[in-house]
Amino acid sequence: MTGITLAAVMAASTTAAFAQGSGADDYKAKCAMCHGADGLAANAMGKMYKIPPFNSPDVVKASDADLIATTKNGKGKMPAYAGKLTDPQIKDVVAYIRTLQK
């Protein structure tokens, strides 16, 4: 591999890791208290509000646009995060949620 190619690969992998890291960090700070660290909503808040786990069929089949809209606008007891998280942060959180579904 040439130095330029290696540098490009390293930059791309660093960017991907940063995006997942920031999504994970925002998820832990804003979402895990209700949805659980693993996204299964098996914690006290998840049970109290009957939050579906992220691996439930309805959540898995929801589009990224649907999850982004729910995060931005809120749904049911879930508060809206528009103005609390930026659009890129919300997108990163949704990408992190997808990793919890696997």
Residue 54: give its domain's CATH number: 1.10.760.10
Residue 82 lies in a domain: yes
Does residue 12 carry a pLDDT above 90?
no
pTM > 0.85: yes or no: no
Residue 6 lies in a domain: no
The neighbour count for residue 39, using CB atoms within 10 Å, is 23
Residue 45 lies in a domain: yes
Residue 38 lies in a domain: yes
The neighbour count for residue 71, using CB atoms within 10 Å, is 24
Residue 81 lies in a domain: yes
The pLDDT of residue 102: 87
Spell out the alpha helix ranges (H) of 31-86: 32-35, 44-48, 57-61, 64-73
Domain count across the chain: 1
Residue 76 pLDDT level (bands cut at 50, 70, 90): very high
Residue 30 lies in a domain: yes
Residue 27 lies in a domain: yes
Residue 78 lies in a domain: yes
